Amino acid sequence: MNANFTLVTGASGGFGSAISAELAKRGWNIILHYNKSASEAKTLGEAIRSLGVEAELVSADLSTREGPDKLSDEVRSMGVRLSGVVNNAGIGRPGNASNIRDEDWDAVLNVNLRSPVLLVRKLLPVMAKPSSVVNVASVSGIRASLTRIAYEASKAGLIHATRSMAVALAPDVRVNAIAPGWVKTNINSERLSDQNVVNGIIERTPLKRLGRPEEIAKLTAFLLSDDSSFITGETVVIDGGVSLT
């Protein structure tokens, strides 16, 4: 088998690109997964290779039943060994318990919960021992606003799945989650384009600002690395304290 790689799903997005760049800076080879943003993924791949590490690209729509199979088959066909997996791809759709649409429920649960669990199971044969998984959850999975049922339920499920995975896959694979608060990326750019909404969040946040993708990236790198070698099944909240208020 070739060198060790870390797979980052949703590498084309705000968190995924910052995470991939941070890992590359640390000398890690990356497999960059994307869905629709092919040109962003290609540009990121070039930037990463210029740092002297390897970058491979793979696309898959993880909202479909076949998505995790397609992605895991392609990664396995690369003949690489995985020392890390970052389940970062995620989507949100509006809808509460009285009006959520079937297709929105299915898409959100498929991308945010079904794919992370099935992807890791399908990739186990090529995962190094030891290796580390980071699931990108959300503070919405801990303290829900009760307005976006699919997103909130998927992230709560991912936090609990993280604990199940940690127990089942130990001692070879550590599995942890992160629960970010507000960071401006494509997923929330519409809501955060309203300065009143941003001001309200900052007001409620003890550290008095939104988060930065680089901060999410550094925490992810810590949980992937040997620096966190005795941590598994945990969910680390990174939200400037907003979920305390």
Ligand X SMILES: NC(=O)c1ccc[n+]([C@@H]2O[C@H](COP(=O)([O-])OP(=O)(O)OC[C@H]3O[C@@H](n4cnc5c(N)ncnc54)[C@H](OP(=O)(O)O)[C@@H]3O)[C@@H](O)[C@H]2O)c1
Strand, coil or helix: what is 97? coil
Hey, which residues between 168 and 227 contact ligand X (CB under 6 A)?
180, 182-183, 185-188
Name beta bridge partners: 33.
58
User: Within a 10 A sphere around the Cβ of 203, how many other Cβ atoms?
Assistant: 10
The sign one gets for the Cα dihedral 93, 97, 102, 107 is positive
- The CA distance from 232 to 218, in Å, is 17
- Give least dist CB 227 to ligand X, A: 22
Binding mask 136-175 vs ligand X (x if CB under 6 A, - otherwise)?
x-x-------------------------------------
Give CB contacts under 8 A, 24+ apart, made by 208-215.
208/240, 209/240, 210/182, 210/183, 210/184, 210/240, 211/180, 211/181, 211/182, 211/183, 211/238, 211/239, 211/240, 212/183, 213/14, 213/15, 213/17, 213/18, 213/183, 213/185, 214/18, 214/22, 215/183
- The CA distance from 179 to 236, in Å, is 6
**Count of residues touching ligand X (by CB under 6 A):** 27
Binding mask 9-48 vs ligand X (x if CB under 6 A, - otherwise)?
-x-xxxxx-----------------xxxx-----------
- Give least dist CB 61 to ligand X, A: 5
- Give least dist CB 91 to ligand X, A: 5
The sign one gets for the Cα dihedral 109, 112, 117, 119 is positive
Closest CB to ligand X among residues 89, 156: 89
The residue annotated as part of the active site, out of 91, 151, 174, 177, is: 151
Closest CB to ligand X among residues 10, 84: 10
Catalytic annotation present for 34: no
- Give least dist CB 55 to ligand X, A: 15
Hey, which residues between 90 and 129 contact ligand X (CB under 6 A)?
90-91, 111
Hey, which residues between 53 and 92 contact ligand X (CB under 6 A)?
61-63, 88-91
Site residues (CB under 6 A) for ligand X?
10, 12-16, 34-37, 61-63, 88-91, 111, 136, 138, 180, 182-183, 185-188
Catalytic residues: 151
